[in-house]
Every structure is written in C-alpha cells, then in structure tokens.
Structure 1
Amino acid sequence: MLNTLIIGASGYAGIELVYYLNKHSYVKILDLVVSSNSQDLGKSIDELYPQMKKIINLKLKSLDQAMKTNKKIDVVFLATDPVTSHNLVHFFIKKKCVVLDLSGAFRINNVNFYKKYYGFVHNYTDLLKKSTYGLAEWNKKNISKAQLIAVPGCYPTAALLSLKPLIESKYLDKKYYPVINAISGISGAGRKNILNNNFCEVSLNAYNLFKHRHEPEISYYLGIPIIFTPHIGNFSRGILSTITCKVKSDMLYEDILTIFKKFYSNEPLIRIYDNKKTPALKSVINLPFIDIGFSIKGKYLIIIAAEDNLLKGAATQAIQCLNIRFGFLETESIL
C-alpha cells in the first residue's frame, strides 16, 4: 500500500482526489491536509462534502499536524495554488516522496515563465529540470520513473490531446496558428468565494486575452504558436474546446479518423467519435474521459474536445499518472 497525503483536499479538485483515491486498491490515505488558516481546518471531510458520508470521514489537518505522526509517506498529491506547491515540493522531494502536483508550479522548465505568468520568482531550477509533464497518454515512459510529476492544466489537456496526433503525423500546416476557443465551468476558478466567480454574477464571457497562463503551456508542449481564447460559462464544471486549424492537403473524414485511431485506439480514457458527430459536455460531466470529435472540409479542420475539468483535466489524470508511475492498471480506481 502507498501511504498518501492529499494537500488541498477541501478544494474542488482535492475532493475528487479523495473520492477516487479512497477506492484505490493500492493506496492508503494517511491524511487530508488544508492550510493552517483554512476555515475548513478540523472539519471532517464528510461534514464539508455530504456526498462523502459513509465513504470517508477523515478530518482535515494542517501540514504540521499531519507530519507529527512520523509515518512514512510514499506519495503526495498537491491540489494547491502554484505558490504553495512551489514552496512544498522541495520539502517532500527531500523526503523521497513521489509528488504529483496539480498546480502549474513545475510544468515548464523556464524560470522567466513563472515571473511573467504566475507572479512569483521560481527558486528551484534543479527541480524544474527533473520535473516530468504528466500528459498521461504521451509521456508514459518518463512518468513511469519520475519523482515529480506536473499534471497538465485542464485547458492544455484538451488542446494537446486534440492536436498532438496531427503534429506527430506531420499533417498540420504550421504556417497557420491553431485557434483554440475553450469554455470552462466556474469550478475551474477554484473554491474561493470571490464575487466574480459567484454563480449569479457569471455570464458567458472571454477573459485574459493573449495573456492566459495556459497559452504558453499549450504552445510549449505542441512546439508551435497558437491563439487561445478562454471563456467562463455559468455552469459548474466541464470544458468544451473548439479548435480550428489547417492541414497540409485536402483530406477526408476517414483520413483524420485514421490518425486519431492510430494514436488513441488503445487509450482507455480517450473516446474518439467516429460517427461524424461531436461531443457535448453532458457526455463527460462526472466522468474521467475526454471525448474528441471533428469535422473537415478540404484543408480546414475543426476539432471539438470535451472533458470534465476536475477529472481528466485534474484529479483523475493525476491518478492515471500515479498508476503509470507504479505499474498499476492505468484505470485503477478511475473506471
């Protein structure tokens, strides 16, 4: 059994980690951790989230309280903000834990990126070099031996899984930047009570044009520039991404389908639509899959990807990485 800490357990992604890891055949959750000034400190997780009743009732502790037990910790999940993750990863790496970080604090090996897009100075260039990007379907070999796994952002997961097959197959016309319009539910902004994230205040609108921190992440791992426009909608969870791009020559629907099936036919958490239909959010909410469909007209290709931002875009992708890292069935506790 892997003795496991979940830090940031009371957040939206954190509670999904709690639920799925509690079902894991090879994981023992030692403690659920929140910040020392959290209003949730000392509460039972099933008091905070009634859906956890008769499933798990551990109390939320501070990190100091959790570390006093002196129990060996094998795995740490960080469902925390980037600054908190930045400050904690080194501590757990020194303790020889495997760390899975759901924040953006270790995704890109460039210290200037963090100052520009995250607003803090990154002090761990050595760990940035050792960090492994946890795009599970594309980086299994490195994930399988990593000590620090940086789980991709929710928007990048949908964009990268949609576009990488075309890039790897050399069919994408790189002279034309892929245009990614993605709509996320309010849960993507986290659980903090901020007026702009209040359900009654949210309308469907674009935000952070040309400056969203996920744009350089997507571009970095695709190896090409992109145009990314994020939107927030007045629904709780899920992401729908519409990606418009151009291929090098006229292609048929069956040609694109063959490309996607080549890369994903054996991937259990990717569902490719092969009936000329496109995904909707209702098909993926509360499920760990990403659904991908498309339409092509000559050289112009539109890809539609749908995922639950808290699952395939966060918690279950992190657990998928855990399973790859330790040689378990990739879908253990997920399906």
Structure 2
Amino acid sequence: MNVAIIGATGYGGAELLRFLQHHPYVNECMLYSSSQDGIDLSLSFPHVGEGKTLRKIDIEQIAATSDAVFLATPPGVSSELAPLLIERGIKVIDLSGDFRLKDGTLYEKWYKRQAANDVYLKQAVYGLTEWNREHIREAQLLSNPGCYPTATLLGLAPLVKNRFIEEQSIIVDAKSGVSGAGRQASLNTHFSEVNESVKIYKVNEHQHIPEIEQMLTEWNERIQPITFSTHLIPMTRGIMATIYAKAKTDLSLEMLVDLYKTSYETSTFVRIRQAGQFPATKEVYGSNYCDIGIAYDERTGRVTVVSVIDNLVKGAAGQSIQNFNLMMGWDETSGLLFAPIYP
C-alpha cells in the first residue's frame, strides 16, 4: 500500500514518516509540502536520512498514487484539502483540529477561523481509538484527537461512562512539553523564556476544551463544563494530565484499579499501574503508550487520575497510525509495537 503525508516538515509529519517507513503494510510513503517542494526532507530533519524529496501538493497526483493520506497540516488547511481527496475515493487521516468538533459554530468560536463544511464535519469519525473502534473501521475521513484530549479522555472514560463521579466536579491540570507548540519559532517557546520555568497558558480558553466536553457528554449527557488548565513545561516531549473528580458514592482504590484494568484489558496501548504507583512522562517517551495511575482519597471523596502520553506519538502520529490500521482492516498495533525510550 502507498500512503502520502501532506505537511511532512512539521514535528507530527516527521514522526509519521519515522513510523510509516518501517510499517509492515506500507510500500511507499510520499511526502508533500506547500512551501518546500523539490527539497530533500533531510535538510530539515537530518535524522530521517537522504533521498526523501518533498513534492508539490497536487491533488490529482496524490489521488492517483496513494491509497491513504495523512494530513499533518495547520488548522484551516485540512478543511480545504480533505474534501478534494475524499471526492476521489481516498481515505484521509487528519491530524489537525478541523474536523474534531461536530458543531461548526463552536469551532469558529474556539479556533477563530472558518469551520469546514457541515457535510464533512458529520462524516468525520473521531479517532479516540480505544473507545471508537467500530466506527473507525468504517471511516473514510478520520479526525485524530488532540494531544491533551487523548490523555484526558483516556483517563476519564471509565469513570464517566460508568457514572462514578459527580458530573460538575471535573478538574484537569495538564502539562505539556514544548514540542506541542509545533516547530515554528515563537517568543513563547524561545529557550530563554521556557527554560527553568513553568507557565500556565490559554486559561479557560484552550481550543481542546470543547473537544473534550463533546466526547464526555456523548458518554454521559449530564456532564457539566469542565475546568481545564494547561501548562508549558521545559521539556521536549510528553503530556501529563492530572484529573480530579468527586465520587458519587464511597469507592475504594482496589475497585478503581480493577475498573480501569477491566476497561482497558483489550487495549494494548493503555497500561494501568498497580495501586499506589503513578506514571511519569519519561516512561512513555517515543512510544504509543498511555500510562495511567489512580488514587482515591477517602477523606475528601475525590478520585485522582494521572494520565501520561508522548504528545507527538499517542497524541498525534502514533494514534493516527493506530487508526489507519483499523481503517485498513489490520491489527491496530501494526508498526507501533516498540518499547518507550528510557532514560
């Protein structure tokens, strides 16, 4: 099978190439760029090696030579390219946020740009793999979840779906490495601004908030707006989402650990820690794993969930390949079964 990556010069595109060029069912991975066509990708990313020339975006050529296309493009670009590819019968996996929100007016409010056509918003399947496998298998347009929503939703799903927590009590304290901001240089990601500092940003206005709430209310229609705070940490990769919620009834730590292990017993890439153990971002570095630890405070009646992922892998490229595998009828772990890099 031949695949294409549009937007191969960003971090997400480079990670896609790193995995796809060794994927057991991918024969060729062609690279496309709107600004660097004709240039060898090794000039931007020497680690991928030479001989990978970026091509000019030509929809007809892409459709004629590719069975599936990964869109690793900025918001606003995918909404224009995806329909053209879908009309030509190509399966599309979009890593941007253009098709994640079903309500176009909500997208315009949070992303500050025009929404995609409603026809494609309705057609897009949300690719939170562990909880939407059946729909993903039938998808032609796959909307890959954001990095923060992936860590948060995987951490919350067992509690919300089983209605173990008060619907108005969810608080998420999330932290991300600098690569989550992309490769484009900015003052906010300048070394001297980020190093030896922790910074909160987009307080109460992060664009991933409605994406998280959309999924939570699909699982439980009584869920209320959440409190979601994001912080920039001086590290390259990783997300840690620390989630707090009030239990509806008395629980026990053993009950919660059993709930999570049962919920994810068929999910290779979600690993639940034993009682009293909590994951660190380093322990999933460079991998497609999401590691989760749980605590219960009998004094306050609150559940604490700690969920960690690599934002560029399980939060982007890795999860998109996991979804691609399902769309093609393969084992979802194909090309992704490798241990994290440590230390």
Shorter-chain TM-score tier: over 0.9
User: Which residues in structure 2 correspond to 1:298-313 (within 5 Å)?
Assistant: 298=298, 299-313=301-315
CA offsets, 1:274-301, max 9 Å, x none? 1411111110111110100011112211
CA contact 1:6–1:29 (8 Å) conserved in 2: no
What is the alpha-carbon distance in structure 2 between the residues aligned to residue 211 and residue 234 of structure 1?
A: 22
Q: Quick one: which amino acid aligns to residue 180 of structure 1? A: V
Q: Return the TM-score normalized by structure 1.
A: 0.94
- State the shift of 1:241 in Å: 0.9
Q: What SS does the aligned partner of 2:327 have?
A: helix
What is the alpha-carbon distance in structure 2 between the residues aligned to residue 330 and residue 30 of structure 1?
A: 19
- State the shift of 1:68 in Å: 4.3
Runs of 4+ off more than 6 Å: none
- State the shift of 1:50 in Å: 2.1
Q: Quick one: which amino acid aligns to residue 157 of structure 1? A: T
Verify: 1:199 aligned to 2:198, yes or no. Answer: no
Verify: 1:46 aligned to 2:45, yes or no. Answer: no
What is the alpha-carbon distance in structure 2 between the residues aligned to residue 274 and residue 144 of structure 1?
A: 32
CA contact 2:276–2:294 (8 Å) conserved in 1: yes
Verify: 1:120 aligned to 2:113, yes or no. Answer: yes
What is the alpha-carbon distance in structure 1 between the residues aligned to residue 317 and residue 203 of structure 2?
A: 27
CA contact 2:21–2:29 (8 Å) conserved in 1: no
User: Which residues in structure 2 correspond to 1:11-22 (within 5 Å)?
Assistant: 11-22=10-21
Which position in structure 1 is the counterpart of 2:100?
107
CA contact 1:169–1:259 (8 Å) conserved in 2: no
Q: Quick one: which amino acid aligns to residue 57 of structure 1? A: G
Q: Quick one: which amino acid aligns to residue 333 of structure 2? A: T
Q: Quick one: which amino acid aligns to residue 38 of structure 2? A: G
What is the alpha-carbon distance in structure 1 between the residues aligned to residue 62 and residue 175 of structure 2?
A: 43
Q: What SS does the aligned partner of 1:314 have?
A: helix
Which position in structure 2 is the counterpart of 1:4?
3
- State the shift of 1:247 in Å: 1.2
CA contact 1:186–1:199 (8 Å) conserved in 2: no
User: Which residues in structure 2 correspond to 1:284-323 (within 5 Å)?
Assistant: 284-298=284-298, 299-323=301-325
CA contact 2:20–2:29 (8 Å) conserved in 1: no
Verify: 1:216 aligned to 2:218, yes or no. Answer: no
Q: What SS does the aligned partner of 2:241 have?
A: strand
Percent sequence identity over aligned pairs = 39
What is the alpha-carbon distance in structure 2 between the residues aligned to residue 28 and residue 186 of structure 1?
A: 33
What is the alpha-carbon distance in structure 2 between the residues aligned to residue 291 and residue 167 of structure 1?
A: 18
CA offsets, 1:158-177, max 9 Å, x none? 1100111111112122142x
Verify: 1:60 aligned to 2:54, yes or no. Answer: yes
Which position in structure 2 is the counterpart of 1:283?
283
Change (3 A) 1:110 1:69: closer
CA contact 1:5–1:75 (8 Å) conserved in 2: yes
Verify: 1:189 aligned to 2:181, yes or no. Answer: yes
Matched length: 327
CA offsets, 1:226-276, max 9 Å, x none? 110011111111101111111111211110011101110121100100141
Which position in structure 2 is the counterpart of 1:260?
260
CA offsets, 1:140-171, max 9 Å, x none? 00000010000000000011001111111121
Q: State the Cα RMSD in Å.
A: 1.5
What is the alpha-carbon distance in structure 2 between the residues aligned to residue 286 and residue 77 of structure 1?
A: 19
Q: Return the TM-score normalized by structure 2.
A: 0.92
Which position in structure 2 is the counterpart of 1:32?
31
Verify: 1:143 aligned to 2:136, yes or no. Answer: yes
Unpaired runs of at least 5, structure 2 = 218-222, 338-343
What is the alpha-carbon distance in structure 1 between the residues aligned to residue 277 and residue 127 of structure 2?
A: 29
Q: What SS does the aligned partner of 2:192 have?
A: coil
What is the alpha-carbon distance in structure 2 between the residues aligned to residue 198 and residue 67 of structure 1?
A: 39
Q: What SS does the aligned partner of 2:69 have?
A: strand
Which position in structure 2 is the counterpart of 1:165?
158
Q: Quick one: which amino acid aligns to residue 146 of structure 2? A: G
What is the alpha-carbon distance in structure 1 between the residues aligned to residue 326 and residue 188 of structure 2?
A: 38
Unpaired runs of at least 5, structure 1 = none
CA contact 2:254–2:275 (8 Å) conserved in 1: no
